[in-house]
Amino acid sequence: MKIISVVGARPNFMKVAPIHAAIKKLNLPVHHLICHTGQHYDKKMSKIFFNDLNIPEPDFYLGVGSGSHAEQTAKIMIGFEKILIEEKPDLVIVVGDVNSTIACSLTAVKLGIKVAHVEAGLRSFDRSMPEEINRILTDAISDYLFVSEKSGLNNLRNEGIPPEKIFFVGNVMIDSLINFLNNANESSILSYYNLMPGEYCLLTLHRPSNVDNKDKLSEILDLILEVSKKKKIFFPVHPRTKKNMEKFGLLGPLNNDVIITDPIGYIDFIALVKNSGLVITDSGGIQEETTFLGIPCVTLRNSTERPITVEIGTNYLVGENIQSARKYIDEIISGKNKKGSIPELWDGKAAERIVNILVGRGY
């Protein structure tokens, strides 16, 4: 059986890594190849992530780079079609919700190749988010839909997806987290930046709705400056965010209690999450990682495609109202945060369930 897995952006690496490891561990009769579309590509950071996660160098690299959604999707489809025609795989695995996910799914399906979508069924119900469109369309055309939380089952059933295509397997992001926690415990990043466990806040920002508007980004950074008077802030800056901060003249006003760095490798980042007192983010995957680790997370978005992290986890969905965010941040810093619990099947074995299903063993 020949399988090609697709990675396009950094979060994809953490989802493909445990699948690759499970195929090797279970000694399955599978020839597993990896295609990196280059949708998001920083040579230094990609190399760090592949090394951190023990993923082999990609078998194929498309190098599509940045561009409009249409340009990027078209370039991926053209490049990936050539690979599929040459390799003739039995199955393509796509993960998450980036442009590479929908582009490679469409290309494979139109060539009669089966598609498995890992992290299927997640919905924010906000179609202004490009990722939401990618999720809906990928799920509609995939042959195997691997679901990470119960909301995904309900969403897919409501959309009329045949139940025989749907499999509740757990969360591959948590597989990676569990697999590399020991490595994270050995990270020296806290000592390097003179951070004490529990005494700092980790910040990530990259959503266009938060960082593309000067007034909005300025409002968030003003809040961060307030928080920094109570807890030191560690802020690995996304390239999009840094570009806008420079364009809007917002880099200067930050103080010595806000540590700004380039993006961080996976192992060091998990160490930062695990030892933080609070995470402030607009990311999707970090909502899951903080819930598993029991770290309070304030999400600066109006909706989340991962509602389980709010319902039983440690995530606070505060919307775009800074006053609301301030209220919850103050409560958390004063020790009034909710405790949360770990969702069902977030046990480090999701990838094994996936590959067993794909080779017909069941679980």
Q: Which of 56, 71, 116, 64 is nearest to 89 (CA)?
A: 116
Residues paired with 109 in a beta bridge: none
Which sign, positive or negative, has the C-alpha torsion 187, 204, 49, 118? positive
Q: Dihedral sign, CA of 290, 295, 296, 297?
A: negative
Q: Which of the following is catalytic: 32, 36, 206, 238?
A: 206
CA dihedral 18, 24, 27, 33 (to 10 degrees): 100
Helices (H) and strands (E) in the chain, counts: 16, 13
Residue 163 — φ and ψ, nearest 5°?
Answer: -60, -25
* Cα 144 off chain centre by: 20
Tell me whether strands 166-168 and 144-147 are parallel, antiparallel or unpaired. parallel
CA 234/CA 181 separation, integer angstroms = 20
Determine whether 186 is exposed, middle or buried from the number of CB atoms within 10 Å of its CB (0-12, 13-18, 19+): exposed
> Phi first, then psi: what are they for 362, rounded to 5°?
70, 180
Distance CA 313, CA 295 (A): 9
Give yes or no: 206 in active site. Answer: yes
Between strands 258-261 and 232-236, the pairing is parallel
How many angstroms from the chain centroid is the CA of residue 280? Answer: 15
Rounded (10°) angle between helices 172-185 and 10-25: 90
Please give the positions annotated as active site.
Answer: 206
